[in-house]
Each structure stands twice: as structure tokens, then as C-alpha cells.
Chain A
Amino acid sequence: MTLLDIVDLHISVEEREIIKGIDLQVEAGEIHAIMGPNGSGKSTLTNALAGQEGYQINHGSAHLEDKDLLELSVEERARAGLFLAFQYPVELPGVSNVEFLKTAVDSLRRANGLDDISTVNFMKELRQLVKKLDLDPEILKRGVNEGFSGGERKRNEIVQLLCLKPRVALLDETDSGLDIDALQTVARGIKEFRSPRTGIVLVTHYQRLLEFVQPDYVHVMLDGRLVRSGDASLALELEAKGYAWLEN
């Protein structure tokens, strides 16, 4: 079953076309890695899919299962099951992680006609998740990303992912800036999320993460296009040769 279906998508930012025609189908259970040089348009694609403002869709379509993502507001896309782990997670000073996540979980549940989650069950699960991601439980009382280190922010994105349980996760460089142990921790989190029901798009610069979470496909993005697709071995080749050989 196709979870995410992107057809000939063109996106511009401030009148400049950045994404110049992308096709991507993510089937349930699959992990797709997208690699590519800085500025090639990886974040533009993931942010625009999530509905961030400032991106104009010039052409093409994007569906999550049967839902036309481009017709939905940001929160409706989230409620349809789309999750974006940010390349640069921002702070919400004074809004505790607990409050933030509980509000988010309840918003998603309400959209699906469910009652709010019981605080006891929620806290139990959240504490376990935080432990799994090797974060200090005290972090739950602190503001979202408030004063968090770069690595803590990235791990916190995975806490949110596992807590919100979307269908499709777009992970934008969640492995960047992590120390060796944290990289493994994050990889474990991603593997936990992986299931026959979910799909993952993994934006990364390093082959390292892909050693821990084997992707089904690796795509190379150059100047707003996916110029080459292959299996996990493509990542190794890129690591050895860089991107220049793909330009023509």
C-alpha cells in the first residue's frame, strides 16, 4: 500500500524554483533515504510537504494515503498522519515538554473522535520514551527545547515521533550533530518506529546512520531533482566518490 505518493512536484520559494519535479512513492514498511549536497532542496521538500508557509507549489501532487496533502492546513496534515522531525528544532520557552506533547496527542486524538488520553497512561509512556532516548527525565518539565543541546533537541524529536505515532515520518537530518552513542540511540528510535504500517523518509548526509537503519532505497537529490535512486549500496558509493560524478 502506498503511504506517501508524490508526483512531479515543483516548489518555489520567493519566485525561485527550488524543487524541479520530484516523484517519490513510499510504500508501507519502507525507509527511503534522501542524500544530496547542501542547498539541493531536501529541507524545502520536507518542509513544503508538512505545509510550512512561504513555499509555493507550482505543479504536481502529494498524497498521504487517500488524502491530498496540498489541500490541507499544517495541523490537518499532521492529523492525517504526517510527522516532520526538524533539521533545526526551535524552542518554546515556558511550554513544558509534557504540556506540549499532551496537547499534541489530545489534538490528534480529538481529530480522530477519541477522548483525551489519561494523564497517568500518558506520563507512564512518556517517561519510558525519554529513558529509551537516554534523556534526563527532568527534561519533561523543562520548556520544549529550552536550553537543550543540539543533540538533545534531535533526540527530543524522536521522543515526539514515538509519542505521536504518525503514519509517515519525514526525518530531516535527525542524525546531524549527534555523538557516537546518541547516533545509535536515535537509530534505535527510528527502528522502533519502523513497522509494516509506517513509512519513513530519511534525509541525511552520512552513510553512518544508514548502517544502523538499513534503508530500502537511497535517492540522490541534486539541484531540486532526484537524479539517482538505488539500494543501500548507493550510499556507500556516495561516501566514497562524493556527488560530482552524478552531475552531467
Chain B
Amino acid sequence: MKLQEPRKPEEVLAQEYTAGFVTNIETESLPPGLSEEVVRKISELKSEPEWLTEWRVDAFHKWLEMEEPKWAHLEYPAIDFQKISYFARPKGEPPKSLDEVDPEILQTYEKLGIPLHEQKMLAGVVETETTPVAVDAVFDSVSIATTFKNTLREHGVIFCSFSEAVESHPDLLRQYLGKVVPIRDNFYSALNSAVFSDGSFVYIPKGVRCPMELSTYFRINAANTGQFERTLIIADEGSHVSYLEGCTAPMRDENQLHAAVVELIALDDAEIKYSTVQNWYPGDEHGRGGIYNFVTKRGMCRGARSHISWTQVETGSAITWKYPSVILRGDHSVGEFYSVALTNNHQQADTGTKMTHIGNNTKSTIISKGISAGKSSNAYRGLVRMNPGARNARNFTQCDSLLIGSECAAHTFPYIESKRRDSIVEHEATATRVSEDQMFLCQQRGIDPEKAVSMIVNGFCKEVFRTLPMEFAMEASKLLEVSLEGAVG
């Protein structure tokens, strides 16, 4: 007699990575290895001024003295930093305009759904009634193109690649570079400071509301290279900007290192909203390959009433080590962290945030949603620190874990450091499972198990998705679906 086939939620999970193709172009890269010479060479290749070269060299020497952090709940073989190439770019003269960009590269972005043609985008606006998004496209170590630069310039907004900013806005750069994330902050920030290649630079002048969403799209293509980008966003008094970041990489059997640094600075009454959809190649179902993602992101609420908000949707990478943080220095400043981290198969994530309250009446909110499936491990790590001088500081933390199947793990490491009586720190945590009863309910109503899991996971993430710009929220939700999609076992 026939046994009824059970359908457990974990059986409907299988990663299908759609961004895993390789672009066939000629790449010129530095041979693997890291030394002062290599650092100087990178600076030379980028025709940098001397102050920046020396800054990098200084960082390199500091890095040599530092040790890899071992406190995270992650397991991976030691990284051989001499086996990595620290610079790769498409061969030939760098393109001066979009027309000069290698069609293969343009096609790559098209395949990934990233609009690089302003005209096409504008045409699309009429059809879909979506607002245009300005894009800076970073391919391996270099920025390929930045769109809508002219429109933005009319509003006084500077949005360009980091390399371009070195040339065109050296004063701003020198004033702020490494001020939020100092070279010595950690092992990976020191490494990044020595070898960073490209990234985006944003400056929003006083009182300006940036007229469109800004975004940077990072693509690792070359094999055996690391990506070390650097992003700096400065929101001057009373300004407002919403910035989006996306990342993908081809499927490769070896692990690749990505170690970025992002610094945000908000002056009086300024607001920065930074959203990430991280979809680096996660490795295959046996845990082979995938990106090692060691990222330092920090925002400084320097001015009174300033506001910095991080939203991240982390579905990719073999290893994620990432803690977008806010230093709340200005009185009445606000810091927020909204996170969805999904791990499947053998992925490992140790992610969270750090809220440092320095100013009076500062307020922070942390909402973290961790989803673990397969044999993966997902940890939330958060620190809320109320400095002795921070009067009436408040924090609310909620961290929820959702488990799919019985072989995965979820951990939470919430730390609170507060010596003040008048601060309010609230912490809530839950851990739940996608239950067989929930699956049964959905299927009994006619819904496919795949759809059921993604619906339940999406429901779990709702609070975070609400904070994403509309189009990104849809993309994120689709991405979850893809990450959870697959044949029923």
C-alpha cells in the first residue's frame, strides 16, 4: 500500500543561482600576492596622488601587524592572502563614455537587469511608472559607468566612482576618508585601506533632497581576484539621500574574497538610507566555492537630528561577516538597522550591528530576521553601547530566527553595555520553525510547497522589506524565492 509522501519544508529548498555566469573578456590583473610594492603598483595604476599612495602604504604596514578576527561564529580554512590577485580590470583603454564600454560587459549588466542606458531607463519610466535610478557599475576592480551624472549635477549632487573623486574632489575625500572607519579598525578594514580598488563617492549638498535613488552595482568576474571596494557617502546639513547596493559573482569552485569598507557621514538634520541586496555566489550545495564576504560598514550621525538607516538583505556569500553600524554622536540622532539574512546549504553568516550612543536623546532600532535552511549556520551579533555621557538614550532590538529543517543552526549574541540609569534598552528575540502544519495548511489550499515556503519566509521578513524602496523590495522578495526555489525532494 502506498505510503503518503511527506513533504518537509527543507526538501523544497535548493539553491538556484541565476547570476552565476562568467563574462568572457580579456582581463589584465596583477599577479597574486601582496607586498608594499603591490600596494604602490595599485596606486600607480590608478594614477593616484602621493598623499593617497602614502595612506595606502601606511595602511598596509598597519595590516601586517594585525591579526584576523577569530571571534565570529564562523568556520573556514585559513585564507592565503598571497594567493589572491588584488587588482583586475578589463583590458584596454578605460572607457570615457558608455559607448566605449565593451559590449560583453554591457550585456552582463543587461542580463543582471541593471539599467545602464539612461534613455532606455527614461523610456521605461513612462511604461512602468517607476522612478529612475542612477547607477555606478563596478566590474572587478574598476567602475565601468555612472549614469545620470548630469541630471544629478544640476542638483549639486556628486555621484561618481571613487577613482574619479580622487581626481575631482580631493579635498572632500581627504577630509572624510577613514574618519568613520579608521584604518586600524579591524584586520579587513586595514587590508581594504591598503588595496581598495574602486567604489562610489556621493556628496549631497546642504538642504538638497537627492532627486533619485543612487545605486552601485558590484560584479566580481575575474577568477582568483579579490574585490576591495570603498564607498563614501557624505550628506551635508539638511540633505537626504537613499542609496542602494547590489552584488553578484559567477559560480566558481574556489572561494573568493570580498572585503569592502563603507563610510557614511550625516551632518545636522541629514538623512542617509542605505540599502543592500547582497547576492554574491553562495557556493554549491556541497559547500564548494562561494564568496567570503568580510565587510565593514559604519555610519556616523555627526550632526544633531541626523538619521542613518541600514537595510540589508543578505542571501549570498559562503561566509558573511558584516555589522553595519551607527555612531550616534549628534543629539537627537537616530540609527536604524533592518536585516534579513538567509543562509542555505553550507552558508555561514555572522551578521548584526553596533549602535554606539554618544549624544543625548539618541535613538536606535534594530530589527534582525535570520532564516537558516539546509546545513547552514546563521548568527546575529549585536552590540548596543550607551556611553556615560549619553542622556536619555534609547534602543529597541528585535531579533527573530526562522529555521527550515533540522540540520541548520541559528544563534543570537546580543551585547548591551550601558552604565546609565536613564537609558532604555529593550530586547526581544524569537526562534521559530516553518512547521509541517503551516506547510500542510498552504498545500491544502492548493499552493505548491515551493511557493508556500517562500510565502512564509517573505511573511517573516515583512517588517524589513517594508523599509526597502519599492522596486528593491520586490527584487528582494523575488531573490528569496529563487534562493528557496528548487525541486521537491
Interface residues of chain A, those whose CB is within 8 Å of chain B, are 48, 50-59, 70-71, 73-75, 77-79, 83-84, 86, 89-96, 99-101, 103-104, 107-108, 111, 143-144, 160, 164
Interface residues of chain B, those whose CB is within 8 Å of chain A, are 1-7, 432, 435-438, 440-449, 451, 455-456, 458-463
User: A52 to B439, alpha carbons, bound, how many Å?
Assistant: 10
User: A164 to B441, alpha carbons, bound, how many Å?
Assistant: 13
Partner of A56 from B3, B7, B444, B451 at Cβ < 8 Å: B3
User: A56 to B3, alpha carbons, bound, how many Å?
Assistant: 6
Q: Are A103 and B444 in contact (CB under 8 A)?
A: no
- A96: chain B residues at CB < 8 Å are 459
| A-B interface, 3 closest residue pairs, ranked by CB to CB distance from nearest | A94-B459, A53-B6, A95-B459
Q: Are A92 and B440 in contact (CB under 8 A)?
A: no
B455 to chain A: closest residue by CB: A95
- A83: chain B residues at CB < 8 Å are 444
A74 to chain B: closest residue by CB: B443
Question: Nearest Cβ in chain B — how far from A195, in angstroms?
Answer: 20
User: A191 to B445, alpha carbons, bound, how many Å?
Assistant: 21
Partner of B7 from A55, A59, A73, A89 at Cβ < 8 Å: A73
Question: Nearest Cβ in chain A — how far from B406, in angstroms?
Answer: 15
Q: Are B4 and A56 in contact (CB under 8 A)?
A: yes
Q: From DSSP, what is the main secondary structure of chain A's interface residues?
A: mixed
B449 to chain A: closest residue by CB: A75
Partner of B459 from A70, A93, A108, A160 at Cβ < 8 Å: A93
Q: Are A94 and B458 in contact (CB under 8 A)?
A: yes
User: A101 to B442, alpha carbons, bound, how many Å?
Assistant: 10
Question: Nearest Cβ in chain A — how far from B64, in angstroms?
Answer: 48
Question: Nearest Cβ in chain B — how far from A17, in angstroms?
Answer: 12
A89 to chain B: closest residue by CB: B441
User: A218 to B447, alpha carbons, bound, how many Å?
Assistant: 32
Q: Are B441 and A86 in contact (CB under 8 A)?
A: yes
Q: Are A95 and B456 in contact (CB under 8 A)?
A: yes
User: A3 to B437, alpha carbons, bound, how many Å?
Assistant: 26
Q: Are B459 and A52 in contact (CB under 8 A)?
A: no
Q: Are A58 and B1 in contact (CB under 8 A)?
A: yes
Question: Nearest Cβ in chain B — how far from A71, in angstroms?
Answer: 7
Q: Are B448 and A75 in contact (CB under 8 A)?
A: yes
| 28 residue pairs bridging A and B, Cβ less than 8 Å apart | A48-B4, A53-B6, A56-B1, A57-B4, A71-B2, A73-B7, A73-B443, A74-B7, A74-B440, A74-B444, A75-B446, A77-B444, A86-B441, A90-B437, A91-B438, A92-B459, A93-B460, A94-B462, A94-B463, A95-B456, A95-B459, A99-B455, A100-B445, A100-B455, A103-B455, A104-B445, A104-B446, A144-B441
Q: Are B446 and A78 in contact (CB under 8 A)?
A: yes
Instruction: Please report the number of residue pairs spanning A and B whose Cβ atoms sit closer than 8 angstroms.
Output: 101
User: A74 to B441, alpha carbons, bound, how many Å?
Assistant: 9
B461 to chain A: closest residue by CB: A94
B432 to chain A: closest residue by CB: A93
User: A78 to B447, alpha carbons, bound, how many Å?
Assistant: 9
- B462: chain A residues at CB < 8 Å are 94
User: A71 to B1, alpha carbons, bound, how many Å?
Assistant: 11
Question: Nearest Cβ in chain B — how far from A169, in angstroms?
Answer: 12
Known contacts A54-B6, A92-B441; A108 and B455 CB within 8 A of each other = no
Q: Are B455 and A84 in contact (CB under 8 A)?
A: no
Known contacts A53-B5, A99-B455; A90 and B438 CB within 8 A of each other = yes
User: A96 to B460, alpha carbons, bound, how many Å?
Assistant: 11
User: A89 to B435, alpha carbons, bound, how many Å?
Assistant: 13
- A103: chain B residues at CB < 8 Å are 447, 451, 455
- A56: chain B residues at CB < 8 Å are 1, 3-4
Q: Are A107 and B3 in contact (CB under 8 A)?
A: no
Beyond A99-B455, A101-B445, 16 additional pairs, beta carbon < 8 A: A51-B444, A54-B4, A70-B2, A74-B444, A75-B443, A75-B448, A78-B443, A78-B444, A83-B444, A84-B444, A90-B441, A92-B459, A103-B451, A104-B442, A104-B447, A108-B446
- B461: chain A residues at CB < 8 Å are 94
- A70: chain B residues at CB < 8 Å are 2, 4
Q: Are B435 and A90 in contact (CB under 8 A)?
A: yes
Q: Are A94 and B460 in contact (CB under 8 A)?
A: yes
Question: Nearest Cβ in chain A — how far from B186, in angstroms?
Answer: 35
User: A59 to B451, alpha carbons, bound, how many Å?
Assistant: 32
- B4: chain A residues at CB < 8 Å are 48, 51-57, 70
User: A96 to B440, alpha carbons, bound, how many Å?
Assistant: 17
B447 to chain A: closest residue by CB: A107
Partner of B1 from A52, A59, A104 at Cβ < 8 Å: A59
User: A84 to B445, alpha carbons, bound, how many Å?
Assistant: 8
Question: Nearest Cβ in chain A — how far from B118, in angstroms?
Answer: 33
User: A107 to B38, alpha carbons, bound, how many Å?
Assistant: 58
Question: Nearest Cβ in chain B — how far from A173, in angstroms?
Answer: 16
- A93: chain B residues at CB < 8 Å are 432, 459-460
User: A158 to B459, alpha carbons, bound, how many Å?
Assistant: 23
User: A219 to B71, alpha carbons, bound, how many Å?
Assistant: 64
User: A205 to B445, alpha carbons, bound, how many Å?
Assistant: 25
User: A54 to B445, alpha carbons, bound, how many Å?
Assistant: 19
Question: Nearest Cβ in chain A — how far from B436, in angstroms?
Answer: 7
User: A54 to B4, alpha carbons, bound, how many Å?
Assistant: 7
- B6: chain A residues at CB < 8 Å are 53-54
User: Which of A51, A57, A84 has the most CB atoms of chain B within a 10 A radius of its CB?
Assistant: A51
User: A83 to B446, alpha carbons, bound, how many Å?
Assistant: 9
- B440: chain A residues at CB < 8 Å are 50, 52-53, 74
User: A55 to B440, alpha carbons, bound, how many Å?
Assistant: 13
- B436: chain A residues at CB < 8 Å are 53
Question: Nearest Cβ in chain B — how far from A16, in angstroms?
Answer: 15
User: A73 to B7, alpha carbons, bound, how many Å?
Assistant: 9
Partner of A92 from B443, B446, B456 at Cβ < 8 Å: B456
B436 to chain A: closest residue by CB: A53
User: A210 to B458, alpha carbons, bound, how many Å?
Assistant: 40
A96 to chain B: closest residue by CB: B459
- A108: chain B residues at CB < 8 Å are 446
Q: Are A53 and B446 in contact (CB under 8 A)?
A: no
- B446: chain A residues at CB < 8 Å are 75, 78-79, 104, 107-108, 111, 164
B400 to chain A: closest residue by CB: A93
User: A110 to B1, alpha carbons, bound, how many Å?
Assistant: 31
